[in-house]
Structures are given as C-alpha cells and as structure tokens.
Structure 1
Amino acid sequence: MLGDALFEKLASVAGAPISQIKLISILLVSFPIASLYGRLPAKRYNVAHLYSLIVSLIYLVPILGLGRGTLHLLFSCIGTYLIVVILRGPLMPWTAFIFCMGHLLYNHISRLVAGTPTSEIEITFTQMVFVMNLTTFAWNVHDGRRKVEDLDTSQRATRLDHVPTPLAFLGYCFFFPSMLIGPSFDYATYDALIHRTLYQNPPSTHGAKQDVKSTTPQRRPYGRRRVAYLHLLIGLIFLGFYSTYGTRAGYDRVLTPVWKQWTWLQRFGFIQFAGFTARTKYYAVWSLAEGACILTGLGFNGYDPKTGRSLWNRVQNVNILSIESAESFKVLFDSWNCRTNVWLRDCVYKRLTTKGKKPGTIQSMATFMTSALWVSPHGVEPGYHLAFVTAGMLTSLGRQYRHFVRPYFLPPAGSSSSLSKRVYDLIGWFMVQSNLNYVVAPFMLLSFRNCMTAWSRMGWYSHIIIALSMAFFQLGGRRRLRKGMEGRQAKTKPSFKLSPPSPMVDEKQETDFKWVRHALENQGEKGVHADGGFVDRVMRGAETPGTETPRTVDEEPFVHKQE
C-alpha cells in the first residue's frame, strides 16, 4: 500500500498497530486538505463534489488498502439512491433503513467470523457513518414529499424537495473530513456548505468582529481557523496521553493476577483512571475529525445570541467539558457521541412515534436495540449489550433522583446557591463518573466471561447501587419523597427576583483567550442539530408513569439544557 514503509516505521516507534497510525495520519493530513477545499471556486459545485470523492478514495484504497470495502460502501450508496428514486410513499425510508442496516450487520458478522481484532481498521467503521448519512438522506427526501404542515421544526429544516444528482450525492457520502469516523450530518447542511448559503445567517448586532464578512455568502465568518486548530491541538494532546497510558491503563489489567495484590483504594482508583484513559482515544479522533470539518466551513451554526461570537458546533460529536464535569447521566450521555444520538432520534425514535401521541416502551427499546446493532465493533458482542442495559438503568435512576431527591438540596427561594446544593452536585459528579467508569469495562472487554470476571473483581459496586436505589423507590421511597416535598412547598412563599441583562461582549476589544472556553463549552443555543436530552426522553417509556407531565415528541422541542 501507499507509504507502508513510512507507516511501519512510525508504528514501531509509537508501539501501535499500523492501521491506527494510518488513521491518525489521515486525520492530520485532512487539515491542509480542508484548507485547500476552502479555496475551491465558489460556483464550481461539481469540482467540490469531485474533490471530496477523489480524496476519500485515495484514503480508502491506496492508503488503507480497503479496496473491497470501498465496493461495499458504493453498494450501499447506489442501493440507497435507487430506493429513494424508485420507491415513493411511507415504505421508502424504512426500506432504505433495512437495506443499510442489513448490509452493515452482514459485514459485522463477517468480521466476527473472520476473527478480525478490534484494533484493526476495516470498512465497517466507515460503513457505520455511511448508514447514518444514508438513512438520514432517505428520511429527508421522504419529508420533502410530505406536506410541510405535517413536519416538525427540524424536519422542515432538513427536508429535500428534490433528489440531488448522483455526483452531488456521492460528494455528500464521501465528504473526506468525516467519511472515516464521522461526524454525520444531513444533506441539506452539505448542500448549504457547497452553495455557501450556510453563512447567510444574519450577523449579530453586538459589534462583533464577524459583522463585515458574514453579510457575504461567499465568505466564511470569523473564527473558523482558530476554532479548527484548537480542536487539532486538543486532539493531539489526548492522542499523546492515550499513547502514553493506553496500554498501562487498560481494563484487561483487571483480569490479571496483579489485581489481587492491590488494596481496595488502589483498585477503585485504577478503574477511574482506566475509564478516563479509554475516553481519551475517542476525544482525540473526534476532535481531529471535527476540527477538519470546521476548517472546511461545515461547522458554522450562526452566532451566540449573548456574545455575538460565531458558533462552530453544527456537527459537534462530543463535549469534553460537559462529560468530565457531568453531575447527571442525562448531561453525560447527551454530550457523548452527539451526532449518533441525533440520528437515533430523527431516524428511529421520532419515526416510530405517532404524531400527537406520547412515545412509550416500544419506541425506547427499538431505539436502544438499533444502537446496539449499529455500534462498533459490532453489536453482536455481549459486552455492548451489558453496557447499554446498565447505562439505561443508571439513566432511569438518575432521572428519579433528580425529580425526587434533588429538590431537597436546592437553595431557598431568592438565593442563588447554598452549601447543600454544592455538596449534592459534588456527590452527583462523583457518582456519575465512578459509575461511568464501571460501565465502560464491558464496552472494552467485550466477551461475556471477561465482563463478568471484571465486574466481579470490581465488587459489583454499580449494580449494588442500582439494586438498592430501585428497591428504595419501589418500596415507598418515591411516595414519601413526593409528600415531603409537597409539605415543604406549602410552607414556602413564592418570591421573584429580576436580574439585570448580561452585558454584550465585543470581540474587537478582547485581548484574552475567552474564545477558547466559548468554543469548548458552547452547545449552540441557536438552531443546533444537537441531541437535546434525547437519552433522557428515550428512558421516559421505561420509567414509572406519573413522575412528570407527559409530552409528545412534537410538543417538546429538542433543545439542550445544562442541568
């Protein structure tokens, strides 16, 4: 393959498989290629489509050696395109969905039968991204054939009233910065990028630095390069961390004899460190891929209404700060693999829900099963199902703690904070992180025997917490907490306090690095295609009725709210 001699030397120095070295190299090379992409002629749309297609084929065939796998990708693309063009009516998107998922599952099973190790990069990793894009495309075309009044807000924004040309469709499927590992996105966003209408969002009136450039559709708003290269820096930092500690902090050490020589505190500390180290691998590759997408201009998402800064989180796949500081499982899961959550919401959960009706257990379980079958590498592994089921129970219990326990620790009316609330938040953060690192173990170990052995050596601490919490809520705890809260509210008189508006920030006058925190923290208050509490909604069908006011999918907007 192209450059194998160089990659072999790099692999021997880094002590990593050559396929992973190739993947990282491709992600890094995508930055200068993305910079050149931004200099393509503005109105030569076919040139942009061909550019992505050629670059992606070079990545796949001569570099990664996935020639046969590339044929599988083309088969999925051509099959989906024909289904969309030939079939009309409500069965079209489901036919495309079954076709794409069936093809992916076939390759998942083929990889399992062949005994391909999980560290080996092969076509199913990329095919998973294609499944999200292709099925989303089918639903967007279907929405374009429906009455506009029958669609919700997000469906109106992504509907397609015509099928694009085959070249434009392939340019979308093989968009080079996201083709290998994501992030996924809808065709309307890609089309807006190609035609430069993505930047026609009217500028803020805060005197911000982007106000001159953003009025011209041919120009990309201010802040694109610095946010893109910030993601590059973050990716490199986490890559270096994982390269240093990935082997020494692997969950497989729990299965070795050395585990029995450690004290309980050492064991618990190792689990937390192993969980964080496992996440850094994903932080690294997702940050690199997202940064390259931003450099092409794809990430633009309007302007922050408070500061006037440009937002570059349209295709955000992970919010690292939210994950590591999460005080609830809702925030944590909403911030992890965000684009997959969007896909599950838009192509499974909402599509199985009848308009005007409340989603229930069927929609919830179908969504989780789809996620399990889709997940890499290959939902046939028991470890993924163990992790998903346990995470689902923790999410459900987290919501109940939030509804029935958290109100007791909130500050009195008129106060902005209290010691009890800070203590509750600290305990919540500790419980979320420690249970997350427990759940990650089967996700990394995969086999049923290894998962059971690892959890046994960890003392089953998360399962004990789950069992005790479920017993408490089911045996009258929920009722007592609700009555106690009603008694407290009856004694409390409502009070109102008006806060002055936040001052607007002028980017021209700033000489510090506040933009760094803005780029890392912002979830996109304006039109972002974010998860917006999707996992929280999915679990609603599995919980005790009456814990909150029921809403339908159409009534409740998917807007992300930090807890």
Structure 2
Amino acid sequence: MRMLWDPLFERLSDVAGAPPDQIKMIAALVLAFPLAAIFVRLPANRPNLAHIFSLIVTTFFLWPFLGLGWGYLELIFSCVVTYVLVATLKGSNMPWVVFFFVMGHLTITHVRRAIWAVPVTEIEISGSHMVLVMKLSTFAWNVHDGRRKTEELDNMQLATRLSSLPNPLAFFGYCFYFPTVLVGPSFDYASYDALIKHTLYTTPPPNAKSKISGRTPVGRRRVALLHFAIGIFFLAIFSLLGARGSFERVLTPTWYTWGKAQQFGFIQFCAFVARTKYYAVWSMSEGACIQSGLGFNGYDPKTGRTLWNRVRNINILAIETSESFKVLLDSWNCRTNVWLRECVYKRLAKKGQKPGSFQSMATFVTSAFWHGVAPGYYLAFITCGLYSYLGRMFRNMVRPYFLPASSPGAANSLPRWPYPNLAKRAYDLVGWACVQTGVAYAVVPFFVLELKPSVLTWARVYFYGHVSIFAAVAFFKFGGSRWLRKGLAPKAPRVKPLSPADAPSVSVQPPSPLAETYERFGEDESAATSGVATPSNFVSEADEADDANIEWVAHDLQNKDQKDFSKMSDEILSGFDTPRRPGTPTQRKTQ
C-alpha cells in the first residue's frame, strides 16, 4: 500500500543514491530520538501510559511507515505464544520450550527470506525478529529464575529475576520498546521495569559530581547527543563510500588491473566501510535509549560522574584499536554476547559444573542460526572461531615473552611499572595489524552471503587468512608449543612488590547493571531499587540546561568499557584452550 510519504523518500533516495527502504530506516532511527525525549517525561505513577506510548510508536514504525505489517503480526504472534508458555508451564523446561519456539519461528523467517531471494538492501522483518528472540528467551529465563531458590542463582540472575509475571500490557511494552525495536540492543525486563517506574536512577553516592535532575541524572542529553552525532558521522561515511567499498567489486574484471598491494588494501577498506553501517545504526539506537533514560548505569566510583553504558552494543574505539581477537569480539554486538552467555552457554552446563566444549559449540551454532541460513554466516563464524582459537594460543605461549616480570607470589599479576615496555608495544602493534587484516578476511562471507561468491572472493586474495591460520596452528602442534614452553620460567622472578600507588588502575564493568549498583555502594537490593534521591540531590531542568560542562561527553568517550559480561568469547573458547605447562598457576581473573 502506497503511503503519503513514499514520494518524499523516493526523491531522497534519488539524491542519496540509497534504496528508499534504507532511507526510511534511518528516518525512523532519527525520529526515535525526539520521541525518546517525550517518553522520559511520562509520569512514573502512570506506567500504562508509557507502555501504550511505546506500542503506538512501534506500530507506526513497523506498519504504515516501513510497510512491515504482516511481519509485525508475526512478531505479535511470537509474543503471545511466549507469554502463554511462560504463564502455563511451571517446570524447569519452560525456558527451553520458549527458546526452541522463538528460534524455530525466527528460522522460518530466515528461510523464507532465502527462498524469496530478498536482497540485503531491502528492509524486512528479520532484523526486528532477531532482536525480539533475544528479549523473549531472556524473559523466559528471568521468570524461571524467579521461581528458583536465590542461593542457586549468580549475581546476574539475582539482578534480573522476576518474582511475578508482569501483566500483558507491560510485557508487550517491553517487547516493543520503540528505541530498540528496529536494530536492538536487547535487554532484560527488570531494566525496562525500573525505567518505567523511575527506580533506575538510584541515590547518588557522596562523591557524585553529577546529581539527579527532576527526571534523570545530569548528563543524559549530552551523552545521547554524542552517540547520535557519532551515528550520523559514520552514516555519512557509509553513504559516501558504501558503493565504492563493496566486496562485490572483488569479483569484477577491474580487480585484475590492480597490483597485489592495492588488492590487499582494498579488502581492508571494504571491511572498514562495512563496519561503518553498523557503527551508525547501533550508535543512533543507543543514543535514543540514553535519551529515554534506559542507558543509565550508575556512577563512576573514581570520578563520580554518571555512566550511560547499560545497553552499550558496540565499542568503536576498542574495535578499531584491538590488539587481539578476544577484545574485538567482546566489543562487537555486546548485548548479543550477553544473551548467548546468559541464555545458552551458562544454561547448558549441569548444576555444579563449568561449561565446556559442548556448551561452546552449542553457543556458536546458536549464534549462526540466529544470524540466518546463508552459507556465508557459517563460513565467517568458523573462520572467526579459528582466529580466536589461534589468539588464545598466542596469548598463552607467545605473549609472556614480551611481558616484564610480574610481582612475586602471583605469576599472572600486573607487571611492574612502567608498562608496557618497548617489546610489549611492538607485540601489540603486530597484534593490531594481524587482527585488522584477519577480520577483514574473515567477514567477507558475512557480507557476500552466498557460498560460491564467498569462496571466489577468498580465492582472489589467495586465501591469505586460512593460510596464516593453518601455518600458525601447524607450528604450535608440531613442536612449537613444546619449544615455547621451555622458555617460560616455571616460577615468577623475585622482584619488589608493587605499591598501590605504582599499580595501574583496572576498569571493569560488571555483568549486571543492577547488581553493579548494589555492590558498588554497599547497598542491598531493596535500598538500591527503592532509593529515591532526596530533595538536596535534585537539580532543576533549568540548571541542567544552563550547565555548559561537556565533561560527560569526554567521560563517555574515554570509558574503556572493559565489560566483565563480554568475556563470553574467551569463556566459550575455554574448552579448546591450549594445555598449560605442568605446575604453572592458572591465570588470575579480575573480578
């Protein structure tokens, strides 16, 4: 059905050189920003108003605006069945029943898209369906955790458990929360409920430099605008370079007119351009979440400033500067990593046992099926898995040679200051180059999708990624590991211990935003969730508007975001870890 605004977007499409569907998608993400500013002002004593507001906006986005009416009905069907299953099934298998139902429904959507040969440039319902699957399966596990004994739960499960089933309107408001309905990120129901009831904003600690305003802590609008501006910046890059930096150009006759260095550089260029599309839409979506208040994640214990990374889905700086595949994978699509860890990886382990190889493989398979049925996804995931496995081997056997001595009694403690030394800097530089060139090779099938074009594209760059992987693995397997282990001292050298002033700081973001709040300030759950800022802690909206301090923006950019919850890739690969030298202490983890 042709709508009134369609001619406008067709004209914009001619000017921008992009399909009308993509122009509409960007317009919806932009429109979500001012709507989120209205959403955050809805009164806490009228939660149904917030649910209805979100549902109305989502309905407009998916039905008349993007023309995805039938797909929207499928999403509603999936939500209704999930709610009925959660309400009626009381056994321990309930979350798995929901999981297989929503994943099966999503697979049907992916298969239908493949059969109908829907082009990648066309916006259809599968993206929203993927986000919904994460929300619905997470919701089922949260309800299940609410029926279990608290001593059986970890910190994350305690923070997100639901002791009672929300009413249908609240449940649908959570499922179709409009800033995330198109491209994510996903999050748990407890965060949504705290946002609606305005209990998300706890009383600031004594050292807080940013107090709570009449509705939200100060800094929300500045950080939201920052992420919106980042999204627009990368959107502009993709608009200018998207056609020029397409992997499809590798398969054209022009490819053979380029030199080897130019061909190699073009693959790196294409990978960067492809990333900018995700940088753009995820940054804009996160900006709308922060504008609505959902991004609030407590206060920095060192600076006292507000943190707005509760639903952070991407760390652009970490991706572009990552020196290992672990860091890169941890910084990409972070909320999907959380979902895979909390709903698959940890849940498959038997009580009292740690997850192993079976749980690792099941998590990789789930991730692949969640993305789609195109062969390119599986080629890309397998290649990234091989790179990650190789990265662990280097981290265990090669990296120690470039580290200075550690403090006594803790073989894997932080090295003595100054750090890093010249050797470690050189190692990191080589690691960065290997990661960037490796990921550019690995993601080719992710964007090409079809089997034959993907393999042909790899062939035209001489399979340099797989050649390097198998050469390195062969080195480790045929004597390299033994030779490297001999050079590692069995005991740490006796050196002067670090004083607290000498030790570099380590910033770790906790796995659960809610649990973080309780632990950081010594509060129990009831105090943290029910604590309302006292009148002395409030500042007016006028005070916030007049404050020209932009330190919140700088603080957000400087936040390294070393997320404990995003150690999923390292944990999943632990089943394939290289064997340690006998008697070597296990690595100490920062908690």
- TM-score, scaled to structure 2: 0.87
CA distance in 2, matches of 1:73, 1:556: 41
The correspondence for 2:273, drawn from 266, 273, 277, is: 277
Does 2:484 match 1:481? yes
SS in 2 for 1:199: coil
DSSP 3-state at the match of 1:41: coil
Distance 2:500 2:578 in 1: 37
Matched, 1:343 2:356: no
Contact 1:301 1:524 in 2 (8 A): no
Alignment of 1:358 with 2:354, yes or no, is yes
Match for 1:58: what amino acid? F
Q: Could you tell me how far 1:513 is from its partner in structure 2?
A: 5.3
- Give the one of 512, 519, 531 matched to 2:556: 519
Question: Given residue 496 of structure 2, which amino acid in structure 1 is its aligned partner?
Answer: S
1:350-392, Cα deviation, whole Å (9 max, x unpaired): 00011321222210111001000001xx2x1111101000100
Cα distance in structure 1, aligned partners of 2:68 and 2:484 = 58
**In 1, Cα distance between the equivalents of 2:551 and 2:488?**
40
**Kept after mapping to 1: 8 A contact 2:331/2:566:** no
Q: CA RMSD in A?
A: 2.1
Partner of 2:399: 406
**One of 379, 382, 386 as aligned partner of 1:386:** 379
Q: Deviations over 1:194-228 (max 9, x none)?
A: 0111001x323335032xx27xxx63111100000
| Structure 1 residue 271: Cα displacement | 1.1
Partner in structure 2 of residue 196 of structure 1? 198
CA distance in 1: counterparts of 2:201 and 2:561, whole angstroms: 15
C-alpha separation in 2, matches of 1:47 and 1:538:
41
Q: What residue is the counterpart of 2:470 in the other structure?
A: 467
| Residue 56 (structure 2) aligns with | 54
CA distance, structure 1, for counterparts of residue 566 and residue 186 of structure 2:
16
How far apart are the structure 2 equivalents of 1:404 and 1:208?
44
Q: Which amino acid aligns with 2:192?
A: Y
Alignment: residue pair count: 536
| Distance in 1, Cα, partners of 2:351 & 2:362 | 17
Aligned to 2:261: 265
- 2:38 is the counterpart of 1:36: yes
Deviations 1:107-131 (A, max 9, x none): 1111111111111111111000000
Q: Retained in 2: the 8 A contact 1:304–1:524?
A: no
Structure 2 counterpart SS, 1:197: coil
Question: Among 417, 426, 429, which residue is 1:426 paired with?
Answer: 429
Aligned 8 A contact 1:275 1:440 in 2: yes
Deviation at residue 542 of structure 1 after TM alignment: 2.4
Q: Distance in 1 between matches of 2:13 and 2:132?
A: 28
Once the two structures are superposed, the pairs formed by residues 105-144 of structure 1 within 5 Å of their partners are 105-144=107-146
User: How far has the Cα of 1:185 moved from its partner?
Assistant: 0.3
Deviation sequence 1:157-197 (CA, Å, 0-9, x none): 00000000000000000100001110000000000000111
What amino acid maps onto 2:227 in structure 1? Answer: H
State the distance in 2 between where 1:151 and 1:546 align: 31
Note if contact 1:322-1:521 (Cα within 8 Å) is conserved in structure 2: no
CA contact 2:41–2:215 (8 Å) conserved in 1 = no
Q: Distance in 2 between matches of 1:396 and 1:245?
A: 33
User: What is aligned with 2:292?
Assistant: 296
Give the secondary structure class of the aligned counterpart of 2:190: helix
Cα distance change on mapping 1:415 and 1:500 into 2, 3 Å: closer
Unpaired runs of at least 5, structure 1: none
Give how far 1:521 is off.
Answer: 4.1
**Pick from 449, 454, 459: which aligns with 1:451?**
454
Paired residue type of 1:298: L
Counterpart AA for 2:382: V
Q: CA offsets, 1:419-476, max 9 Å, x none?
A: 1111001001010011011111111111111111111111211111111111111112
Counterpart CA distance in 1 for 2:324 and 2:578 is 19
Contact 1:319–1:521 under 8 Å retained in 2: no
Tell me, in whole angstroms, the C-alpha distance in 1 between the residues paired with 2:435 and 2:169. 46
**2:169 corresponds to:** 167
CA deviations on 1:483-514 (whole Å, 9 max, x unpaired) are 21126x56x323212143899xxxx9x98855
Answer whether contact 2:208 2:305 (CA < 8 A) is retained.
Answer: no
Q: Which amino acid aligns with 1:306?
A: K
Tell whether the 8 Å contact from 2:318 to 2:328 is kept in structure 1 after alignment: yes
**Distance in 1, Cα, partners of 2:565 & 2:365:** 18
Match of 2:438 in 1: 435
Contact 1:100 1:131 in 2 (8 A): yes
Percent of residue pairs identical: 54
Per-residue CA distance 1:275-308 (angstroms, 9 max, x = gap):
1110000000000000000000000000111111
CA distance in 2, matches of 1:143, 1:522: 32
- Answer yes or no: is the 8 Å Cα contact 2:136–2:175 preserved in 1: yes
Q: 1:424 & 1:39 partners in 2: Cα distance?
A: 50
The answer to whether the 8 Å contact 2:231/2:280 transfers is: yes
Find the aligned partners of 1:476 and 1:517 in 2 and give their Cα distance.
48
Does the Cα contact within 8 Å between 1:321 and 1:521 map onto a contact in 2?
Answer: no
Q: Does 1:76 align with 2:78?
A: yes
CA contact (8 A) 1:2 1:63 kept: no
Q: CA deviation at 1:545?
A: 4.2
Which residue of structure 1 aligns with residue 512 of structure 2?
Answer: none
Local SS of the residue matching 1:12: helix
Task: Give the superposition deviation at 1:16.
Answer: 0.6
Distance 1:402 1:154 in 2: 28
Q: Who is 1:538 aligned against?
A: 572
- Tell me, yes or no, if the aligned pair for 1:438 and 1:462 is still in contact at 8 Å: yes
**What residue identity is the alignment partner of 2:565?**
D
- Residue 187 of structure 2 corresponds to which residue in structure 1? 185
Which one-letter code corresponds to 1:422 in the other structure?
R
Q: Which residue of 1 aligns with 2:365?
A: 369
d(CA) in 2 for partners of 1:292 and 1:104? 26
Q: Offset at 1:541?
A: 1.3
Structure 1 range deviating more: 535-544 or 298-307: 535-544
- Contact 2:289–2:295 under 8 Å retained in 1: yes
Residue type of the partner of 1:416? P
Q: What amino acid maps onto 1:304 in structure 2?
A: D
CA offsets, 1:16-63, max 9 Å, x none? 111100000000011110001111122110000000000100111110
Report which stretch shifted further, 403-412 or 430-439.
Answer: 403-412
Query: 8 Å contact 1:364–1:538 — kept in the other structure?
Result: yes
Q: Give matches, 1:2-21, under 5 Å.
A: 2-21=4-23
Q: Distance in 1 between the 2:115 and 2:57 partners?
A: 31
Q: Is the 8 A contact 2:40 2:215 kept in 1?
A: no
Letter of the 2:200 partner, please give it: L
Deviation at 1:520, TM superposition (A): 2.8
User: What amino acid is the match of 1:520?
Assistant: L
Q: Is the 8 A contact 1:352 1:363 kept in 2?
A: yes
- Amino acid corresponding to residue 465 of structure 2 in structure 1: S
- Structure 2 distance, partners of 1:159, 1:499, is 37
Q: Kindly indicate whether residue 392 of structure 2 is the aligned counterpart of residue 396 of structure 1.
A: no
**CA, structure 1 residues 58+9, in 2 after alignment: closer, same or farther (shift >3 Å)?**
same
Contact persistence 1:40–1:47 (CA under 8 A): yes
**Aligned-pair CA distance for 1:411:** 2.7
Matched, 1:152 2:186: no
Matches of 2:439 and 2:60 in 1, distance apart?
38
When residues 291 and 69 of structure 1 are mapped into structure 2, their CA distance, relative to the original with a 3 A threshold, is same
